[in-house]
């Protein structure tokens, strides 16, 4: 039985090294770490643990369609400092403002295009097209930078991160490097806009000339038929994007245009020589770090629109009470949302003196989801993200340990159990009071007595360490192990015990939920019988 | 251009998929017989008529609007048939030049197809205009009148001629003359079809001009390229160039052709309903059965008054010879019909239902006169004699159906109950019936209930409520049925004995 762990990274990871390097020497502000926390330790997530908590799928979903930025490493590194969490929460909260959000999204889209155009420019062979793509990239780049600067100035964000970014961007856009680029780009672009030529196609012979005063016949026909087709929506002509510039005809065509418009093409070539490398490193970093935030916000937005609550959790020191109201499993909510239904939100709380949550109740009643959810929201909270729920107070952890049963072949029960116990023991030795341990149905293959014995013993040890433990089990006695243990029960509908409500309530296990509900349905509970016989 | 609006004053008719929740009603009222007669083999007529019969139009304005169009159609049946067959012919042209097929969707091929299609449709537009000129003045209804006026207004001769002229030009052009500018990456963009202003220069003329330019040190003004037939990439590029240059023209022409096709399609759809009405009208007239345009009143107060109301389906299957009933049920929210088996109770219930459906569809009704309040919806709950699902238990099945009805119920609807809740003993059935009927009445729903549940019927009778009406299938003292329904207190026996006696005493019934 595998134990998986989020263990503290012994050395700063590559990402932290880069972000550290980017912050100080060049003076670019980071959106992810406050200046004095640039080298902070972060928990580096173990893959198997992320799998147990379904966080791997959540992160896959968040990063869908965002390949280019190398964002995964940012999501796999959870900071351990509440200052970093606060720093990021402030950025998230600024970006939830609609205007700024769409401004940043446009910026990202533009930067994406800049990269694509530059890539094209580096790929094509003919100078004619290479210069063209470079010019187009520069146009897009200037638009992107100007627009972002305008958005940041207009929104005047409160967060330290974004106000630093705004200040830096203002300085950059007034630098001479940028203003020269802008002026040159616009001049050459307007010159190129004057190039227009005609192709007279007859069979396979094509004559090419400068455009004269030939009227637009297409327009003429279209306006004659405009009345008829006014309300048409359907398009009958397909778009066939073919790759341009690969044929001999197109190469010849480019040569003809160069000869028909020599002055314009010379200016363009000159521009390309001077501004081959115009993209600023600071803008690139800003773009990437924005994506960390945007990816998450875009992921949760459909859920928010469907009425699911998200909140910024307060961070409490370890050992103090924790709670979350109306929270849910993010992946499950996404899945149900796609299917057109809603996830059932649940509350959890750990009050003073409580540390171990034992979850019992109906089969398939949402117990595992509940346990997973506790791990998820803590992980997301540590990243600085808004978490599912109306309100939450959570703790930062040094690691999350998970133990989820898998379909594993058991040849030698005793040997395997011994092996597992040794590993559990080894890992419990690493557990600190700041750890979160999540166990799902441990030792289900053992006999009931063994399972109870081992479970109690492990809970006692966790209790002694003083960390937070979450334990999903059939064995209701585990809820009685000690004062620090608090019981949660997955409930069933009182009318029909076969209907699951997916509600988990903090209460004592009653051991008779199923029988009681059946009895109620047929009006045969003790109280009912007494009432009917009166 | 506006598509004809013969069914709604404010919009065109959109056919829908069959609504499954109405099929109970269709089944119970034997709508199939009516629709078969209306359709006369035309599937479109059948589909549209079905949809409109089940639509339950509650706007009296719309009902009157349809009555107007229908009157015009009944007065000029040849006009309807001409328009309908012209529309079918135009749709035939459309089938010959289909568009929107993927393999044909490059601009040059779409353009070719669209030019052919419009070449076929524009002459039919001229014929439609001819019909509009011929009948425009004879149509009193807004629906047809506006449509003809629109055709005459929007398609003056010059306009149609201009369109045909463009189609001819595009149909006879040789080669393409396309301009472009430079877009992102200096890739040609903004391809535009241009009208050639000068004759194309010959090769010799081009050579001379080139030579002259070189001599004078001027840049050349033209280059000629030849694409080799085996240079596939260049040929693709050339096709792409043409595609882009012709795209918008091809699309506009295709959309125009599609819009004209849409006009004819819409015309055919809107007319199909009236064609159906005409078929039914002819059938009933041939049987000497009376029909009348009804007088719908608002939904607030219950009104129901009829002279010689009969079930048209029964008239069609029997070939006439059905008994009409007079009915005066103004102000009545509950009609309870009791009396002899085989006495025409169900027929009477169907006649009420069908008259309501036909009235609210904008048709004539099967009666000499009919005046009734509109209903938001009709629901029917007929006892299922043959229940394939034996497991469920008949009463439970009935209650489940009733539950579905109540789920979908709105106030100002009418519920037709036919021997509902008779699957259990009379006491239980009456109890349920009382619960259900009281609930429905309190919710503002009108109820017509054919029942043998004497305890229920007589209980309600004894309440002496002014807005209840009690009717009985008439039986003469000699036991013979008149198939008339008359008002009167519910009677205890259901005269099943008569039926029993008749069958068992007839010569072939004796074994």
Q: Are residues B344 and B481 in the same domain?
A: yes
- Token pair 């993200």 is found at A385
Question: Across the interface, do A249 and B234 touch by the CB < 8 Å criterion?
Answer: yes
Residue ranges for chain B with pLDDT beneath 50:
21, 386-392, 494-500, 503-504, 507-511
Please indicate, yes or no, if residue B37 is contained in any of the structural domains: yes
Q: Are residues B258 and B330 in the same domain?
A: no
Q: Are residues B265 and B376 in the same domain?
A: no
| Residue to test with chain B: of A228, A252, A264, A266, most B Cβ within 10 A | A228
Chain B residues close to A199, C-beta within 8 Å: 177-180, 241
Q: Please, are residues B53 and B361 in contact by the beta-carbon 8 Å criterion?
A: yes
Q: Which of B195, B225, B255 sits opposite A229 (nearest CB)?
A: B255
Residue A29 has pLDDT above 90, yes or no: no
Residue A525 has pLDDT above 50, yes or no: no
- Interface check B235 vs A, CB under 8 A: yes
Interfacial B residues in 174-213 facing A (CB < 8 Å): 174-182, 184-188, 190, 192-197, 200, 206
Residue B363, domain extent: 287-509
- Interface check B240 vs A, CB under 8 A: yes
Interfacial B residues in 407-436 facing A (CB < 8 Å): none
Q: Are residues B377 and B271 in the same domain?
A: no
Question: Cα separation of B430 and B434, whole Å?
Answer: 6
CA dihedral (B51, B54, B56, B57) in degrees, to 10, reads 20
Please indicate, yes or no, if residue B235 is contained in any of the structural domains: no
Please indicate, yes or no, if residue B27 is contained in any of the structural domains: yes
Q: Which of A241-255, A404-418, A494-508, B217-231 has the lowest mean pLDDT?
A: A404-418
Q: Over A250-316, what HEC string results?
A: HHHHHHHHHHHCHHHHHHHHHHHHHCCCCCCHHHHHHHHHHHHHHHHHHHHHHHHHCCCCEECCEEE
Q: Please, are residues A234 and B258 in contact by the beta-carbon 8 Å criterion?
A: yes
Closest-CA distance, A415 to chain B, in angstroms, reads 54
Q: Are residues B105 and B166 in the same domain?
A: yes
Chain A residues close to B234, C-beta within 8 Å: 247-250
Element (H, E) at A404: strand A399-404
- CB contacts < 8 A, A to B, total 229
Question: Across the interface, do B222 and A207 touch by the CB < 8 Å criterion?
Answer: yes
A396: helix, strand or coil: coil
Closest CA in chain B for residue A135: B185
Closest-CA distance, B87 to chain A, in angstroms, reads 17
Q: Are residues B383 and B441 in the same domain?
A: yes
pLDDT at A39: 63
Bigger pLDDT: A505 vs B388: A505
Of the candidates B218, B242, B276, which is a domain's last residue?
A: B276
Chain B residues close to A220, C-beta within 8 Å: 195
Question: Across the interface, do A214 and B250 touch by the CB < 8 Å criterion?
Answer: no
Residue A228 exposed, middle or buried by CB count within 10 Å (0-12, 13-18, 19+) = buried
Question: Cα separation of B115 and B164, whole Å?
Answer: 10
User: Residue B332 maps to which CATH number?
Assistant: 3.40.50.300
Hey, what long-range contacts does A525-531 have (CB within 8 A, 24 or more apart)?
Answer: none
Band of pLDDT at residue A115, cut at 50, 70 and 90? very high
Domain locations along chain A: 4-190+278-303, 306-533
Question: Across the interface, do B241 and A199 touch by the CB < 8 Å criterion?
Answer: yes
Please indicate, yes or no, if residue B220 is contained in any of the structural domains: no
Strand arrangement, sheet containing A4-5 = A4-5, A399-404, A435-440, A468-472, A356-361, A485-492, A500-506
Range picked from A4-8, A63-67, A529-533 for highest mean pLDDT? A63-67
Question: Across the interface, do A238 and B106 touch by the CB < 8 Å criterion?
Answer: yes
Chain A residues close to B175, C-beta within 8 Å: 200-203
CB atoms within 10 A of CB A26: 11
Q: Please, are residues B356 and B414 in contact by the beta-carbon 8 Å criterion?
A: yes
**Cβ-Cβ contacts under 8 Å for A355 (sequence gap 6 or more):** A462, A463, A466, A467, A468, A469, A484, A485
Residue A411 has pLDDT above 70, yes or no: no
Question: Across the interface, do A216 and B227 touch by the CB < 8 Å criterion?
Answer: no
Question: Across the interface, do B185 and A124 touch by the CB < 8 Å criterion?
Answer: yes
Hey, what long-range contacts does B474-479 have (CB within 8 A, 24 or more apart)?
Answer: B474/B339, B474/B340, B474/B343, B475/B339, B475/B340, B475/B343
pLDDT at B356: 96
- Give the β-pairing of A391-395 and A314-316: parallel
Which two tokens mark B397? Answer: 């099945």
Chain B residues close to A244, C-beta within 8 Å: 185, 187-188, 237
Q: Are residues B349 and B256 in the same domain?
A: no
A501: helix, strand or coil: strand
- Token pair 């025409």 is found at B344
Question: Across the interface, do B223 and A259 touch by the CB < 8 Å criterion?
Answer: yes
Closest CA in chain B for residue A117: B185
Chain B residues close to A132, C-beta within 8 Å: 182, 184-187
- Interface check B326 vs A, CB under 8 A: no
Q: Are residues B265 and B333 in the same domain?
A: no
Q: What global pTM score does this model have?
A: 0.60
For residue A237, CA distances in Å to A103, A109, A328, B106, B464 come to 34, 28, 47, 6, 72
Q: Please, are residues B449 and B427 in contact by the beta-carbon 8 Å criterion?
A: no
Q: Which of A121, A206, A240 sits opposite B240 (nearest CB)?
A: A240
Please indicate, yes or no, if residue B113 is contained in any of the structural domains: yes
pLDDT at A362: 66
Question: Across the interface, do A252 and B225 touch by the CB < 8 Å criterion?
Answer: yes
**Alpha helices, DSSP H, located in B12-106:** 23-28, 31-39, 43-55, 60-75, 77-96
Closest-CA distance, A365 to chain B, in angstroms, reads 30
Band of pLDDT at residue A534, cut at 50, 70 and 90? very low
Q: Please, are residues B336 and B258 in contact by the beta-carbon 8 Å criterion?
A: no
Q: Are residues B326 and B442 in the same domain?
A: yes
Closest CA in chain B for residue A233: B255
**Integer-rounded Cα radius of gyration of chain B:** 34
Phi-psi region of A512 (alpha: psi -120 to 50; beta: other; left: phi over 0): alpha
- Interface check A189 vs B, CB under 8 A: no
Question: Cα separation of A337 and B354, whole Å?
Answer: 44
What are A367-386's pLDDT values in tens digits?
889 999 999 999 999 999 99
Q: Are residues B262 and B292 in the same domain?
A: no
pLDDT at B122: 94
Mean pLDDT, chain A, rounded, equals 81
Question: Across the interface, do B105 and A124 touch by the CB < 8 Å criterion?
Answer: no
Q: Are residues B367 and B272 in the same domain?
A: no
Number of domains chain B is built from: 2
pLDDT at A494: 62
Please indicate, yes or no, if residue B13 is contained in any of the structural domains: no
- Interface check A243 vs B, CB under 8 A: no
Q: Are residues B447 and B342 in the same domain?
A: yes
Question: Across the interface, do A218 and B192 touch by the CB < 8 Å criterion?
Answer: yes
Please indicate, yes or no, if residue B233 is contained in any of the structural domains: no
**Integer-rounded Cα radius of gyration of chain A:** 31
The 8-class DSSP code of residue A216 comes to: B
CA dihedral (B124, B127, B128, B131) in degrees, to 10, reads -160
Chain B residues close to A118, C-beta within 8 Å: none
- Total residues found in chain B within this entry: 511
Question: Across the interface, do A218 and B107 touch by the CB < 8 Å criterion?
Answer: no
Rounded to whole angstroms, the maximal C-alpha distance in chain B is 124
CATH of A306-533, one of 3.40.50.300, 3.40.50.10860, 3.90.1150.10, 3.30.1300.10: 3.40.50.300
- Interface check A178 vs B, CB under 8 A: no
What are B361-409's pLDDT values in tens digits?
999 999 999 999 999 999 998 887 544 444 335 666 777 788 778 877 7
Band of pLDDT at residue A510, cut at 50, 70 and 90? low
Which two tokens mark A207? Answer: 């004559």
Residue A109 has pLDDT above 80, yes or no: yes
pLDDT at B204: 85
CA dihedral (B132, B135, B136, B137) in degrees, to 10, reads 150
Please indicate, yes or no, if residue B216 is contained in any of the structural domains: no
- Interface check B256 vs A, CB under 8 A: yes
């Amino acid at each position: 039985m595998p134990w998986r762990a989020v263990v503290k990274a012994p050395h700063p990871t590559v990402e932290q090294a880069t972000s550290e390097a980017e912050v100080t020497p060049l003076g670019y502000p980071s959106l992810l770490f406050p200046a004095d926390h640039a080298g902070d330790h972060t928990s580096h997530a173990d893959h198997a643990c992320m799998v147990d908590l379904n966080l791997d799928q959540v992160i896959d979903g968040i990063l869908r369609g965002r390949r280019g930025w190398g964002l995964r490493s940012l999501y796999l590194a959870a900071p351990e400092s509440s200052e970093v969490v606060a720093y990021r929460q402030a950025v998230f909260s600024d970006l939830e403002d609609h205007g700024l959000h769409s401004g940043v999204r446009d910026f990202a889209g533009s930067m994406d295009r800049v990269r694509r155009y530059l890539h094209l420019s580096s790929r094509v062979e003919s100078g004619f097209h290479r210069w063209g793509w470079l010019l187009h990239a520069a146009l897009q780049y200037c638009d992107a930078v100007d627009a972002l600067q305008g958005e940041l100035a207009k929104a005047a964000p409160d967060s330290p991160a974004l106000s630093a970014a705004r200040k830096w961007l203002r300085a950059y856009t007034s630098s001479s490097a940028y203003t020269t680029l802008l002026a040159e780009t616009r001049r050459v672009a307007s010159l190129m806009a004057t190039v227009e030529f005609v192709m007279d196609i007859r069979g396979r012979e094509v004559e090419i000339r400068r455009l004269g005063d030939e009227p637009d016949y297409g327009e003429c026909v279209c306006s004659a038929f405009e009345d008829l087709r006014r309300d048409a929506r359907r398009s009958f002509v397909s778009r066939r994007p073919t790759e341009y510039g690969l044929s001999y005809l197109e190469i010849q065509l480019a040569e003809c245009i160069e000869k028909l418009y020599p002055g314009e093409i010379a200016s363009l070539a000159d521009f390309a020589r001077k501004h081959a490398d115009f993209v600023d490193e600071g803008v690139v970093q800003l773009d990437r770090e924005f994506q960390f935030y945007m990816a998450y916000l875009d992921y949760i937005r459909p859920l928010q629109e469907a009425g699911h609550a998200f909140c910024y959790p307060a961070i409490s020191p370890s050992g103090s009470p924790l709670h979350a109201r109306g929270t849910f499993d993010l992946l499950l909510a996404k899945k149900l949302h796609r299917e057109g239904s809603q996830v059932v939100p649940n509350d959890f709380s750990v009050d003073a003196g409580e540390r171990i949550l034992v979850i019992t109740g109906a089969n398939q009643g949402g117990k595992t989801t509940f346990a997973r959810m506790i791990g998820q929201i803590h992980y997301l909270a540590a990243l600085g993200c808004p978490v599912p729920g109306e309100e939450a107070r959570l703790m930062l952890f040094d690691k999350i340990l998970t133990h989820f049963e898998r379909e594993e072949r058991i040849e030698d029960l005793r040997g395997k159990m011994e092996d597992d116990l040794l590993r559990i023991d080894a890992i419990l030795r690493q557990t600190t009071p700041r750890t979160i341990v999540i166990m799902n149905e441990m030792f289900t293959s053992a006999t009931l007595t063994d399972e109870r014995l081992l479970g109690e013993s492990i809970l006692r040890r966790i209790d002694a360490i003083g960390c937070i433990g979450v334990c999903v089990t059939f064995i209701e006695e585990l809820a009685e192990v000690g004062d620090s243990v608090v019981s949660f029960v997955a409930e069933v509908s009182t009318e029909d015990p076969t209907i699951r409500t997916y509600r988990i309530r903090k209460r004592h296990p009653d051991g008779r939920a199923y029988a009681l509900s059946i009895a109620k349905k047929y009006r045969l509970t003790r109280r009912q019988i007494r009432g009917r016989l009166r | 251009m506006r598509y004809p609006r013969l069914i709604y004053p404010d919009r065109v008719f959109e056919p829908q998929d069959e609504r499954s929740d109405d099929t109970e009603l269709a089944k119970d009222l034997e709508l199939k017989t009516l629709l078969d007669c209306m359709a006369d083999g035309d599937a479109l007529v059948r589909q549209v008529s079905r949809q409109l019969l089940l639509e339950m139009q509650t706007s009296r304005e719309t009902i009157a609007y349809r009555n107007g169009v229908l009157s015009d159609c009944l007065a000029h049946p040849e006009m309807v048939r001409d328009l309908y067959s012209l529309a079918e012919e135009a749709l035939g042209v459309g089938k010959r030049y289909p568009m929107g097929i993927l393999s044909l969707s490059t601009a040059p091929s779409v353009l070719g197809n669209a030019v052919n299609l419009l070449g076929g449709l524009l002459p039919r537009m001229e014929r439609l205009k001819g019909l509009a000129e011929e009948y425009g003045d004879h149509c009193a209804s807004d629906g047809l009148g506006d449509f003809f006026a629109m055709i005459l207004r929007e398609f003056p001769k010059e306009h149609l001629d201009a369109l045909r002229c463009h189609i001819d030009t595009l149909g006879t052009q040789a080669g393409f003359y396309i301009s472009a500018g430079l877009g992102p990456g200096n890739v040609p963009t903004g391809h535009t079809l241009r009208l050639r202003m000068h004759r194309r220069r010959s090769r010799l003329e081009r050579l001379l001009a080139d030579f002259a330019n070189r001599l004078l040190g001027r840049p050349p003004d033209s280059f000629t390229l030849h694409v080799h037939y085996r240079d596939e990439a260049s040929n693709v590029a050339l096709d792409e160039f043409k595609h882009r240059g012709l795209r918008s023209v091809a699309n506009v022409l295709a959309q125009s052709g599609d819009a004209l096709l849409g006009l004819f399609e819409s015309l055919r759809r809107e007319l199909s309903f009236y064609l159906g009405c005409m078929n039914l009208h002819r059938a009933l007239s041939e049987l000497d059965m009376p029909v009348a345009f009804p007088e719908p009143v608002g939904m607030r107060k219950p009104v129901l008054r009829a002279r010689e109301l009969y079930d048209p389906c029964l008239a069609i299957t029997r070939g006439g010879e059905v008994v009409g009933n007079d009915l005066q049920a103004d102000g009545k929210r509950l009609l309870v019909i009791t009396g002899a088996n085989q006495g025409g109770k169900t027929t009477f219930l169907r006649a009420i239902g069908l008259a309501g459906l036909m009235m609210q569809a904008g048709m004539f009704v099967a009666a000499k006169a009919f005046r009734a309040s509109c209903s938001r919806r009709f629901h029917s709950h007929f006892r299922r004699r043959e229940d394939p699902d034996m497991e469920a238990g008949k009463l439970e099945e009935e209650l489940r159906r009733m539950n579905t009805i109540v789920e979908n119920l709105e106030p100002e609807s009418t519920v037709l109950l036919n021997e509902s809740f008779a699957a259990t003993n009379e006491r239980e059935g009456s109890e349920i019936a009382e619960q259900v009927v009281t609930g429905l009445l309190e919710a503002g729903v009108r109820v017509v209930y054919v029942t043998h549940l004497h305890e229920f019927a007589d209980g309600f009778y004894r309440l002496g409520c002014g807005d209840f009406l009690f009717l009985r299938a008439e039986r003469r003292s000699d036991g013979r049925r008149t198939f008339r329904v008359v008002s009167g207190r519910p009677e205890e026996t259901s005269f099943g004995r008569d039926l029993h006696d008749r069958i068992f005493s007839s010569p072939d019934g004796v074994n």
